[in-house]
Amino acid sequence: MGQQLSAADEDDRSAVATRLAVAIGRINRRIRPSNPELSYGQLSALSSIVRLGPLRPGDLARLESVSAPSVTRLIANLEAKGFVERTPDPVDGRAFYISASEAGADAVLRARQERAALLRELLADCSQDDLDRLTAALPALENAGHVDEAPADVAAAAGDRSSAPLVPAAETNHAG
C-alpha cells in the first residue's frame, strides 16, 4: 500500500468498492437467519471469542469496535445464554477472561452452517462460469477482509491465535 495510485486506479478502486458494498449488503440481508439464536452483534463477538479466546473484555471491545459498557452488556447476554464463561486472570485478581463454552462454539457453528445453506440456495441459480469467477475471487475477498487476522494488539493479547481457521475443515472442502 506504500505505492501511489493514479487517479484512474483510484477511480477503479472506488467503483469496485461501491459495487462490492452493494452486493455484500444485499447478500447479507438475504442470508440472515429467519429465527436467529443470536443477534448480529452477539454472533460477531462470540465468533471472535471462539476464534481468539480467551479474551479480556477490553480486547473484545477493541476487536468488535464497541464501547466498554456495550461489551459488558454483550458479555452478560452471552453468559446468560450459557455461551461464554468467565475465568479469573491469574495475574490480576480484579480482571477476568471470557472464553466460549461448548454451547457457544456450537452456536457459532450452527449460525455459519445456516448462513452457508442460505448462500448455497442463492448460488443454485448461478452459471458454472459465475461460480468459477466467485471461486477465483475468494482469496482476494478473504485478503481484503483480513479474514484470518485479528488486530495486532488483540492478537498479541490473545497469544496470536489469529491463524485458527474460521470455518471447520469440513466446510472448506471444495471437492464435490
31-36 average pLDDT score: 77
Residues, the chain, total? 176
Nearest partner of 52 among 136, 165, 167, 171, judged by Cα:
165
The whole model's pTM is what?
Answer: 0.72
- Domains, the chain, in order of start with CATH, read 37-159 (1.10.10.10)
Instruction: Give the number of other Cβ atoms within 10 Å of residue 75's Cβ.
Output: 22
Q: For the segment 114-150, what is each residue's pLDDT rounded down to a tens digit?
A: 999 999 999 999 999 999 999 999 999 988 887 655 5
Q: How confident is the model at residue 93 (pLDDT cuts 50, 70, 90)?
A: confident
> Can you tell me the distance from the alpha carbon of 38 to that of 95, in angstroms, rounded to the nearest whole number?
26
